[in-house]
Amino acid sequence: MRQQLVQEVETTGSSLLQVLSSFSEEQINTLPFEGSWTAGQVTEHITRAGNCGIVYGSVAPTERQPDEKVAAIKELFLNFDIQMQSPEMVLPTQESYQKEALLQDLHHAWEKLLHAAQTVPLEDTCLDFEVPGFGPFTRLEWIQFINIHTKRHIHQLEKIKARLQTA
């Protein structure tokens, strides 16, 4: 279970850095269409939402399979036909970004997530925060949530990139 999780986190992190690297400095801050975020704003959101501090917080023993909610997380967050509203605490806070700083922040955040995937007891239930509608997540589910949420935004970044190239 851990080896597969680590591999998934590594693959997503690599894809994320690759897609962000494909943007020019100007494209990072270009709004692709009205009502959208820029690539920089999406990246800040990913970094803020990907803070894996929750997996180091208060925990309790789990009385269910530690990956029980992963399928439901995937089903919801990898459904690109639905629009979601971000919680205020992870909304982007800036309007202008520097590409290199974004890449460094992402790299640092992803290294922390990878370290957590490699080291924390995955079966413990995290008690400090719950995603509405899901109830408490195990550490494994939180790491998967961050990973899957990021995959959703990689897709969004790819759409932004395609839109900017045709504009």
What DSSP string describes 18-67? Answer: HHHHTS-HHHHT---STTPPPHHHHHHHHHHHT-GGGGGS-EE--SS-TT
Please check the confidence at residue 167 and state whether its pLDDT lies above 80: no
Q: Can you give the pLDDT at residue 95? A: 85
Residue 95 vs residue 8, higher pLDDT = 8
Instruction: Kindly state the tokens that stand for 55.
Output: 């997996």
Q: Can you give the pLDDT at residue 147? A: 98
Domains and CATH numbers, the chain: 2-83+97-166 (1.20.120.450)
- Residues 110 and 20: their CA atoms lie apart, in Å, by 14
- Residues 18 and 106: their CA atoms lie apart, in Å, by 11
CB 134 within 8 A of CB 72: yes
Q: Read off the pLDDT of residues 28-45 as tens digits, 9 standing for 90 and up.
A: 999 998 889 999 999 999
23 pLDDT band, cuts 50/70/90, is very high
Could you tell me which of 130, 48, 129 has the C-alpha nearest to residue 90?
48
Average pLDDT over residues 133-148: 97
Chain center to CA of 58: 21
Q: Read off the pLDDT of residues 52-92 as tens digits, 9 standing for 90 and up.
A: 999 999 999 999 999 999 999 999 999 999 999 888 989 99
Q: Can you give the pLDDT at residue 51? A: 87
Q: Can you give the pLDDT at residue 35? A: 87
